[in-house]
Structure 1
Amino acid sequence: MTTNAKITAGSRLQAMAPDRQAFFLLRTVFTVAPILFGLDKFTNILTDWTIYLAPVATSVVPVSAQTFMYIVGVVEIVAGIAVAVRPRFGSLLVAVWLLGIIVNLLVLGSFYDVALRDFGLLVGALALNRLSPAGSWRRHGK
């Protein structure tokens, strides 16, 4: 990308209305983060995800904790793609998913700091939902 192209792209972002900038930033984060965290459920590079799983989860869904995390990974990847393609729907999917994670952490009885962080993310996902009304930004020319 040439210097002029970079300046033009940066100028376009700065010229956007603040609500559109917020929409763009939130949609980007809620697309990339779930996909990356979902992929990591298969590699456990960032952490051993099974330590965050309440034992009751594997009694409800009778699979090993790691298999449960593989399912979680697929759901997270799908949620990230949904945010990219249909942000109004995808943001609600992510919010509900985060609520499930919060409940799991509270049932586990530890990682309250992570539950609080995820509550903040849930609020961000709801904000994305409010910024992406029935149509897309492209359709309304905003």
Structure 2
Amino acid sequence: MKTTTENVSRGRLQSMTPDRQAFLLLRTVFTVAPVLFGLDKFTNILTDWTIYLAPVATAVVPVPAQTFMYVVGVVEIIAGVMVAVRPRFGSLLVAVWLLGIIINLLVLGSFYDVALRDFGLLVGALALNRLSPAGSWRRHS
């Protein structure tokens, strides 16, 4: 038997328009994923992130690859938080960031599969931007 809370939650979800549901799904994913990936740049639990970094990046910014990844991690965390609080702006930040990652992977000359996946994510971030009304950080929090 369903509890009253489950029925209310299900009713609220079913009463949402599909565009509102899509907005909430995309905002959640583009908040959580960048924050988790950003945090992992400090631990390398998921992977050794430095293998995805084109050598030209550390030639332009002369720091060790892992230090570069720490900066990347901070930017990703900020991008995820921005999606949570200002999805219209944050989604564009994520899209530009993903474009940078794609360019880096193409320059690296490998991981084309990851670049293609990131292109799909870039399109998703742009879709979130289109679903985010102006001032949505106030209305959808």
Q: TM-score range by the shorter chain?
A: over 0.9
Please name the residue that 2:131 is paired with: 131
Q: CA deviation at 1:64?
A: 0.3
Root-mean-square deviation (CA, aligned residues, Å) is 1.5
Please name the residue that 2:53 is paired with: 53
Letter in 2 for 1:77: I
Q: CA deviation at 1:137?
A: 7.6
For 2:86 and 2:113, the matched residues in 1 are separated by 30
For 2:84 and 2:34, the matched residues in 1 are separated by 11
Alpha carbons of structure 1 residues 55 and 137: separation in structure 2 relative to 1, 3 Å: closer
For 2:137 and 2:70, the matched residues in 1 are separated by 34
Contact 2:35 2:77 in 1 (8 A): yes
Q: Normalization by structure 2: what TM-score?
A: 0.94
SS at match of 1:10: helix
Letter in 1 for 2:119: F
Q: CA deviation at 1:108?
A: 0.1
Taking the TM superposition and a 5 Å limit, the aligned residue runs for 1:1-12 are 3-12=3-12
SS at match of 1:95: helix
For 1:116 and 1:50, the matched residues in 2 are separated by 19
For 1:3 and 1:58, the matched residues in 2 are separated by 56
Gaps of 5+ in 1: none
Please name the residue that 2:69 is paired with: 69
Q: Normalization by structure 1: what TM-score?
A: 0.94
Q: CA deviation at 1:136?
A: 1.6
Q: CA deviation at 1:110?
A: 0.2
Please name the residue that 1:93 is paired with: 93
Gaps of 5+ in 2: none
SS at match of 2:121: helix
Letter in 2 for 1:81: V
Letter in 2 for 1:69: M
Letter in 2 for 1:90: G
